[in-house]
Amino acid sequence: MANKAGDITSVDFSYNASANDQEPEGCAFIGEGVIFHGSIVVPGKLVVHGKIEGGEIGARELIVGRTGVVSGQVRADIAEVHGRIVENLEAKVRLSLRKSGSVEGSVAYGEIEIEKGGRLLGTVATLEATEDADSSGAESTKKFVAQLVANG
């Protein structure tokens, strides 16, 4: 909802998945030139060619394009970085750092792939592998979404 000046006064990040929801739907696209301030949770894919600044950023799949910049507490099952992520990143299943990409800060991942030219600066840790990383990662993201919704 926006007031007369166009300021966002409230945003509902609720995610109501059924018990049989294996593939959460919903995606978001932050285009080049767009700046988003605050927390955002996407049950599916989040594509960023603009900027996301601050707060909690959560998605099942995160793609940061060459012009994209994401700063904050980032959590995704799968993260593909062509642009830049600053602060903390947790990629439960896989982090793919492309040749034009950089991650600066604390990074935790299930699996990692770094192309020649990709930059990783900061602390790095691996997450313990599970027998079914894809399903446990999706469940973890759903719990993360529920936690953010509960915290308002």
Alpha-helical regions (H) of the chain: 133-150
Enter the DSSP assignment of 119. Answer: E
> What is the total residue count of the chain?
152
Rounded percentage of the chain residues whose pLDDT exceeds 70: 68
Phi, psi of 142 (to 5 degrees): -60, -40
**What are the sequence ranges of the domains in the chain?**
27-130
pLDDT of residue 20: 41
Phi, psi of 146 (to 5 degrees): -60, -40
CA distances from 17 to 20, 24, 41, 139, 146 (A): 8, 7, 14, 11, 10
pLDDT of residue 128: 76
Enter the DSSP assignment of 23. Answer: S
Phi, psi of 137 (to 5 degrees): -65, -40
Query: Both tokens of residue 120?
Result: 């990783």
CA–chain centroid gap for 17, Å, is 19
Gap between the Cα atoms of 65 and 49, Å rounded: 5
pLDDT of residue 140: 54
pLDDT in tens, 18-53: 444 445 579 999 999 999 999 999 999 999 999 999
Amino acid occupying residue 4: K
Give the containing element (helix H, strand E) for 65. none
**2 pLDDT exceeds 80?**
no
Query: Both tokens of residue 34?
Result: 């767009």
pTM to 2 decimal places: 0.71
